[in-house]
Copies of this chain bind each other. A is one copy, B any other.
Amino acid sequence: MSGGAPQGYDPYAFEPFAVTVDLAVFTVRGGRMHVLLIRRGQEPYEGSWALPGGFVLPRESAETAARRELAEETGLPEAVVAALHLEQLRTYSEPDRDPRMRVVSVAFTGLVPDLPEPAAGGGGDAAHARWVPVGEAAGLAFDHAVILADARERVGAKLEYTCLATAFCPPEFTLGELQAVYETVWDATVDRPNFRRKVLATPGFVEAVPGAARLTGGRGKPAALYRPGPATTLHPPLLRPSEGHPR
């Protein structure tokens, strides 16, 4: 606890640690889940892929540092970084997770819609950033593979009982696109009519775009467009198939 120094100890006799943030930012592209990675330009792990992140500055909270580092390191547009759905995952504090020194890292999970050309275009360090399919993210620096796995699991679980899936979609989307998010994140197939029924029956999950707005992604009947609704949680939840809950 802050200030909760052991009684009788000098509360100022603390060990100084470096505090960093790491971000697992996901998007769904072409039916596959991607994570935003940067190529490390210095030791240790020079040349390896790593999650974006960096040191928390003296007057910043971890949340503030996370957004700043993301903007600096990946060149994502300001608007995207500001609107990004960001959430604390957990803190990684194993003593030897960084070979140089004692570093405690607060990890975050971020969700963005598929971007035209995400990690490009930005200036400076952006050139080192890339969207990588999660299945191909091997050999990550530090304990970032663990963080990535934890983040994936958390996102999958959150889709079950929150309305978070819309964070992967553009401002207006079809139910087919929303279903694709679920199927991609869960790596499972979902029955389409049942999915529609569930989503539309959950008040505030999505709301229809009023104008007879429709959009065709190519072939097939045009789909109605929806926007994220005011609801944030799903009651009752939308449980993923398999995963050991025999029904």
Asked whether A79 is an interface residue with its Cβ less than 8 Å from the other chain, the reply is no
Closest to A234 in B: B245
Stretch of A94-102, A188-196, A206-214, A215-223 at the chain-chain interface: A94-102
| Chain A: number of interface residues, binned into ranges | 35 or more
Contact A6 B142 (CB under 8 A): no
Which residues in window 29-62 of A have CB below 8 A to B? 38, 40-42, 44-45, 50-62
Contact among B11, B62, B73, B94 with A104 in the assembled complex (CB-CB below 8 Å): B62
Contact A1 B22 (CB under 8 A): yes
Q: What residues of chain B lie closer than 8 Å to A56, measured between beta carbons?
A: 15, 17, 93, 104
Contact A142 B55 (CB under 8 A): no
* Copies of this chain assembled into the complex: 2
Contact among B19, B60, B125, B236 with A245 in the assembled complex (CB-CB below 8 Å): B236
Contact B54 A6 (CB under 8 A): yes
Contact B1 A50 (CB under 8 A): yes
A90/B88 contact (C-beta < 8 A), A142-B2, A235-B244 known: yes
A239/B235 contact (C-beta < 8 A), A98-B2, A102-B58 known: yes
Binding site for B on A (CB under 8 A): 1-9, 11-12, 14-23, 38, 40-42, 44-45, 50-63, 69, 72-73, 88, 90-95, 97-98, 100-106, 124-125, 128, 141-144, 161, 235-237, 239, 243-245
